[in-house]
Structures are given as C-alpha cells and as structure tokens.
Structure 1
C-alpha cells in the first residue's frame, strides 16, 4: 500500500533543532534556581545554628543551657532541641518567601505555622516564639536582598526590612491581640515589646547588640566573651517583657542593675568575669527571672554576624 502524500510529508518532516540560545537560557534559569535553593538552605541552617549557639552558651543568667535549666521548671535543653528540630524547615521557607518579596501577611502566616509546630514538639511550652518572629523577619530580609543582588550588610538588611515590610510590621504591632503576655505587660508597664522593636527595624540589635559583639571580638576576647558582653548589654538596656511578666517592675529593674554592674566592672575584659556571671545567674534563679527577650536578640546577633560572611 502506498502512503499518501500527507503521510509521506509527515514522516519526512525533520525535527527542528532547539535554539542554542533557548537551551542556554533554560540552563541558566535552572542554575539560578539551584543557587537560590542553596542560599535559602544556608540561611536556614545559619538561623538554627544561631539559636543552638545561644542555647549552648553558659553562663547566661536565668536562661536554659546544657548546664542547668536556669529559672525554668518546665523546660530544659532537650525541650529546646525538640523545638529547633521542629523549626528546621521554617527558616528556609520564610527565606524563600522573602526572595519573592511576598507581603507581610504571608510571612506572618509562616510564623504562626512555625509556632504551632514548636508547641506540638514541646507539649505546649513556648521556647522560641520571640525567635520565630525576630529571626524569621531577618531570614526573609536576607532572601529579599540576595534576590536583588544587594549586600547582606547590617545596614542593607535593616533598611530593606523597613522599606519592604515596615508598614506591615507597624500594623502588626497595632493589631496584636491583647491576650498575649507581651502585650499585657507592655500596656501595664508602658514599655515596648518585640513587635515595636521590629517595627523600628530592631534598633537594639543593630545599634547596641551587634556593635558590642564586634567590639569584644575585635579586642580579641573570643566568641563566647563577645556573646556574654552582648547579652549583658541587652539585659542592661531593653525593656524585656519576659522579665516584667515574671518579676514585675522590681524584677526588671534588678536585671538591668545587675547587668550594668557587670559591664561597669569591665564585662568580659576582667579575669573573674565568669565567676561574676555565674553569681548573677544564681541570683536570677532565686528570683525566677529569665531575660528571654535578650536571649532572642543574642541569637539574632549571632545570625547577623554569620550573615556578613555569606555572598
């Protein structure tokens, strides 16, 4: 049987070669996606490592460490490790969302999902609520800057955070439910909380904590000493709603006074700094005081320092 002309034409139709330009574009796009995924993974790992370093640090007055549970009877280092494992995907996802320049409502939902995962892992214990918010926003901003070929400097991160999500953060601060401990404390004692700190571009992080961390490092006193000096600087300065909730005005004042005394005596530049920090730790435990807000900002300091080495 003879083939019709139509069949013959179809059979003989040569396959058109793919344009080398299109092929190169596809390969470039695939490489770009791989690089973006790798960056998000790196940032997510940095966030977890920053929280882990804060957890491992000792002595941290009133706070959980591998040595003891500080002022907390309901959590220990294992509780925190469970929480970190539950958050391992969150920081990657919020970095990806930041790359896309997504609206604040999406970032907020990712944070709420992460908080639920944390509470499931810890049987309802709040280990990292503040860090989910603070570090989450910093991860998103790092993604935003990287996708637009902007430097990952402290100045660029802070400016981009305010430009891209400042309005959303301000509304978040105003709309927060009054049922949270932080909001109740802020209203009762007329102090600012984590939401206001974020809406202002984390001034305590960028203007106090990070400069002090770099100052101690630059003096050659080591990573742990830099972290302790930074923690005490934050304790002496910020209005930590965790402290007002646990110890009222007297407790918050005691923490600030103790931290200032530690710093005025030379901080970690003195030979006996560890003994003085442990003494402060014992005093905080006795009064059940825990500067959790300062710990969150210390983790953020670790994160920003590590971020400066990424490209």
Structure 2
C-alpha cells in the first residue's frame, strides 16, 4: 500500500507524465503570478491581505474568488496555443472568445466587481503565446514569448482604438484613448509587453539576486513597474495628474533603494497613504506585476521562499 501511494505521488509530482502537461505548467505559472501579486503588502492604493487600499468595493477575498474563477482560462488559452496550426495572429479570436466567457465568470464570482479583467487579457494572451512557442520545443525563451505575443495581437490598436472615429466609445479603454490618446493594455501587448521586459523582469531579477526576502522582491518589482507603466487605472481615477504623481513618486522611491532599503520602505508607506487619500489605485501596474512573476516562473525563475514576518506567532502543532 505504501509503495503504491509513493508511486502515485511521484506520478503527480512529475508534470512530464501528465497529459497536456505544458498547458498545465503555463497556466500554473500565470496563476502563481496572480496569487503572489494579491498577497504582496504594502502596495500603494491597492488591495493587500491587510488593506483594501483605495477600494471600497473589494478586498482580499474578492481577489481570491476572482483568481479561482479565471484560473481555468489560463490553462485553456495555453492548450489553444499548443494545438494551433495556423499563423500566430489567427489564434487571437479564439483567445478573446475564451476570455469573454471567463470575464463573465469573474464578474459573477465578484458580484460585478472588476478585479482582474486586465490581467485576464494579458495572461490569456501570454498563455496562448507560450503555447504557440512550445508547440515544437520543450522550453520557452523570453524573446520568443514576447515576440509571439506581439505577433498574435498585431493591429489590435488600429482595429479597436484608432478606428473609433466619431463612434461613441463603449469600454474604459476606448474612453481613455478618446480622451488622452493612450493605448492601454492593448498597446502594451502589441509592443510585446515592454514594461514587463524593461522594468518588471530586470527589477525582479536584481532584487532576487540581492538575497531580499520574497515580499521585498515582489514589492520592489511593483515599484519599478509603477515608475514606468502608462497605468490606465490611475488615468481613469485621477487623469494625467494622478499618473504623473505616482510615476514621479515611484521613481523617487527607486532612487532611495526601493523596497530593499528602510528609506525606500518608509517612502512606500507614505505613498500608500497618499494614494488612499486621493482615491488612486495603480491597478494596471498590479496586473503587470502578476504578469512579470508569471513570465519569470514560466522561464524557470525561482523566487526566494516565503518566510514568516518578524513577530508572527507560530501556528500550534496539530493534534494527530
């Protein structure tokens, strides 16, 4: 009996033995990013395990149920890419169809609250792109992943934003383009996720290499993204002034050493209070943090283990 159980556990622990194991691995990487983003604290103006940030309609549990609702979408998009045989751009319509189904499930799970719709789009596109890359090779390189994602969505800004003309915009992305000319997450994806490539991943790797604990690595990566991202959530809530303010503060925090120094952490706490007072939330940057962690996990990156916070009481031993 023990031998049979051991063989069963070994089978489950070896993804190469699973049918469609690449799809599971891809989906799991991006779900990891979503969950680690949710669990990071403090995040200026954002929901964390200890704060609702600038939000009155959502908390940690809202994000947990929405993450559970969209998790299968990431696997299905990866599976779609793995099984696709045409040009890369021809898979997008099917990715959007899957995404629409899971957006509806997300909103049903949260009672209509928009928690992770931006992440659903980004992670869905990248999951499918990873599947496309891994159709003929066991691993996915950073360059191939982002180039394939850009090829998948090429022309999306022309089709969905620049072609608006005099038509009344319907979505938040369309309204922000009409008012400010910003391309939002569509532009980020069509450019091959430059904020993730140039800000998120380098910051994550540098913080990890410094030996910082997991929480500091994640928070430092978020600040690096906030300093560069054209965050449409900030634009929606406070206009260009809000975006300029948060970007400038994030750059100042980076100059202080970010989440890796006491001065940087003190400045992060101050920015959190300022964002809450102004009702600002860098939700677009939070989505890109999740994407960054997901891409790093997909590429084989290993984050430092989570450690108990100083002063935390150990859990009592279970009665067995």
Instruction: Give me the TM-score of the superposition, normalised by structure 1.
Output: 0.83
- Of 134, 139, 164, 1:146 maps to 134
The CA distance in 1 between the partners of 2:59 and 2:104, in whole Å, is 19
Judging changes above 3 Å, is the alpha-carbon distance between structure 1 residues 95 and 169 closer, same or farther for their aligned structure 2 residues? farther
Preserved contact between residue 185 and residue 241 of structure 1 (Cα < 8 Å)? yes
CA-to-partner distance for each residue in 1:184-227, whole Å, 9 max, x for gaps? 12321222311111111111111221112112212222332222
Q: In structure 2, what is the equivalent of residue 123 of structure 1?
A: 111
1:162 matched to 2:145? The reply is no
1:225 is matched with: 216
Structure 2: state its 5+ residue gaps.
1-15, 85-89, 302-320
- Confirm whether residue 205 of structure 1 aligns to residue 188 of structure 2: no
Tell me how far apart the structure 2 counterparts of residues 205 and 280 of structure 1 sit (CA, whole Å).
Answer: 22
Q: 1:286 to 1:171 in 2, by over 3 A?
A: same
Tell me how far apart the structure 2 counterparts of residues 165 and 188 of structure 1 sit (CA, whole Å).
23
Change (3 A) 1:258 1:136: same
Secondary structure at the residue paired with 2:50?
coil
Cα distance in 2, alignment partners of residues 110 and 175 from structure 1: 24
How far has the Cα of 1:295 moved from its partner? 0.4
- Paired position in structure 2 for 1:58: 41
Structure 1 pair 174–37 and aligned structure 2 pair: CA distance change class (3 A): farther
Q: CA deviation at 1:182?
A: 2.3
- The match for 2:122 is 134
Match of 2:241 in 1: 250
Q: Say whether 1:81 aligns with 2:25.
A: no
Larger displacement relative to structure 2 (99-108 or 194-203): 99-108
* SS of alignment partner, residue 103 of structure 1: helix
The 5-angstrom pairing of residues 39-54 of structure 1 reads: 39-54=22-37
**Is 1:90 equivalent to 2:81 in the alignment?**
no
Pairwise CA RMSD: 2.2
Please tell me whether Structure 1 or Structure 2 has the larger radius of gyration of its CA atoms: 1
Q: Matched residue of 1:188: which SS?
A: helix
Q: Shift of residue 63 of structure 1?
A: 0.4
Cα distance change on mapping 1:147 and 1:170 into 2, 3 Å = farther
Q: Contact 1:71/1:284 (CA < 8 Å) preserved in 2? A: yes
Name the counterpart of 1:281: 272
Task: Give unmatched runs, 5+ long, in structure 1.
Answer: 1-32
Which of 75, 93, 98 is the equivalent residue of 1:105?
93
Deviation larger for 168-177 or 239-248: 168-177
Q: Contact 1:62 / 1:282 at 8 angstroms: preserved in 2? A: yes
Which whole-Å deviations, capped at 9, do the CAs of 1:139-182 have from their partners, x for residues lacking one?
Answer: 11111111211631211101222334434676355568821122
Instruction: Note closer, same or farther for the CA distance 1:279–1:218 as it changes in structure 2 (3 Å cut).
Output: same
